[in-house]
Amino acid sequence: VVRSQLQFTEYWQGRTGLSIGLREVLYSETSAFQRVEVFETDILGRALALDGAVMFTEFDEFVYHEMIAHPALSLLHDARRVLIIGGGDGGAAREALRHPDIETLDLVDIDEMVAEVARRFFPNVSSSLSDPRLALHIQDGRAFVEEAKGDYDLIVVDSTDPFGVAEALFSRGFYESCRRLLAPKGILVAQSESPFDPSQRDVVEKVSRSFREIFPIAATYLAFIPTYATGMWSFTLASKRLHPLRDYDGEGAGKRLKGFGLKYYNPEIHRAAFALPTFVRHLISDPGDEGYA
Ligand code: SAM
């Protein structure tokens, strides 16, 4: 194939999507669970795709991985035990383990191939897989939380989209199991798809509703990820006790984050991320806006 013709397109819906020029396909295998591909792209560095969906690119992975980990860890500021479901590439774990107080991090991914590929092609994303505080469990996350002992200060659900094996990670039963595993001040964070993506916006609403039914405090927040469907991405945070804005000490967080070398998250972004466009508020139909300051 002529080099200039190599393209990878992630379709959002029908014939519409994001098309990325490729220099080379570095890896393409099918594991027991999904197709795993690694691309050398023209301008975005290397990219990982699972079942035809971009998981991350070197160009913008820092946004997603900083924003799935630091809002909750800055709110907690003394988290000791962390559980990450999915995220076998190690990106979310890399960000969490920047916090020196963390003593143990359980990383549970169903597909060993993801960790292997991350180690081989994405040394910067997977660096934490060799951190002595990290224990990698190759297992279904739903089964893990049903058998695990508490109590975690933070549980992160860094899953693929809610299809196939990942569907179980969006179920109410799974979230209730996570709640049982959380310490009294514990926080649950899940990536919750895009409010702009016609085929995924119901997930934003469903996760928000489940979290609000199961936890006293829940809030949706946003980040801008150019290589994800539509570029607007949501995360949903739930807590038994800490409100993401009212209980947030931005000044203290700013001091603790010094030296982390973050490129997206900061105390101002923390507050801004929870400010939602009106259409997103309507989408999650949060009556009292109690999830927001
Ligand atoms: N961290 C990346 C990012 O920047 O978005 C992508 C997320 S990570 C690659 C998604 C992971 O969820 C995949 O590695 C997949 O194997 C894992 N996964 C899907 N279903 C799962 C399940 N039921 N239990 C555990 N891991 C699961």
pLDDT tens digits, one per residue of 136-191: 999 999 999 999 998 999 999 999 999 899 999 999 999 999 999 999 999 999 99
**How many whole angstroms from 241 Cα to the centroid of ligand 1?**
28
Rama region for 285: left / alpha / beta (φ>0; ψ in -120 to 50; rest): left
Question: Which residue's CA is minimally distant from atom 21 of ligand 1?
Answer: 166
Q: Residue 238 CB: number of other CB atoms within 10 A?
A: 29
| Ligand 1 atom nearest residue 191's Cα | 5
**Average confidence (pLDDT) over 102-121:** 98
- For residue 272, the Cα-to-chain-centroid distance in whole angstroms is 18
| Ligand 1 atom nearest residue 228's Cα | 5
Question: Which residue's CA is minimally distant from atom 15 of ligand 1?
Answer: 86
Closest C-alpha among 140, 135, 37, 27 to residue 90: 135
The reported pLDDT for the residue numbered 69 is: 98
SS3 content of the chain, % helix, strand, coil (to 5): 35, 30, 35
**How many whole angstroms from 2 Cα to the centroid of ligand 1?**
33
Per DSSP, the chain holds a count of helices (H) and strands (E) of 10, 12
Distance CA 246, CA 51 (A): 40
The reported pLDDT for the residue numbered 291 is: 47
DSSP 46: E
**Average confidence (pLDDT) over 13-34:** 96
Confidence of residue 52 (pLDDT cuts 50, 70, 90): very high
Sign of CA dihedral 210, 215, 219, 221: negative
Long-range contact list for 135-139, CB < 8 A, 24+ apart? 135/104, 135/105, 135/106, 135/107, 136/88, 136/107, 136/109, 137/106, 137/107, 137/108, 137/109, 138/109, 138/110, 138/111, 138/112, 139/108, 139/109, 139/110
Question: Which residue's CA is minimally distant from atom 11 of ligand 1?
Answer: 86
Q: Does pLDDT of 1 surpass 50?
A: no
The letter for the amino acid at 158 is D
The reported pLDDT for the residue numbered 5 is: 82
Contact between 131 and 95 under an 8 Å Cβ cutoff? The reply is: no
**How many whole angstroms from 138 Cα to the centroid of ligand 1?**
11
**How many whole angstroms from 111 Cα to the centroid of ligand 1?**
8
Record the tokens describing residue 40, joined without a space: 């050398």
Ligand 1 binding pocket mutation candidate from 111, 193, 200 (most atoms within 8 A of CB): 111
The reported pLDDT for the residue numbered 77 is: 85
Does the annotation count 158 as an active-site position? yes
Give residue-wise pLDDT tens across range 42-51. 999 999 999 9
Give residue-wise pLDDT tens across range 249-291. 999 999 999 999 999 999 999 999 999 999 999 999 865 555 4
Question: Which residue's CA is minimally distant from atom 1 of ligand 1?
Answer: 87
Q: Does pLDDT of 4 surpass 80?
A: no
**Residues with Cβ within 6 A of ligand 1?**
33, 50, 55-56, 61, 64-65, 85-89, 91-92, 108-111, 114, 140-142, 158-160, 165-166, 168-169
| First CA to last CA distance, the chain | 54
Burial label, 76 (beta-carbon count in 10 A; 0-12, 13-18, 19+):
buried
Its pTM surpasses 0.75: yes
Give the H/E segment covering residue 217.
strand 217-224
Q: Which of 89, 106, 158, 161 is catalytic?
A: 158
**How many whole angstroms from 180 Cα to the centroid of ligand 1?**
22
Distance CA 206, CA 198 (A): 14
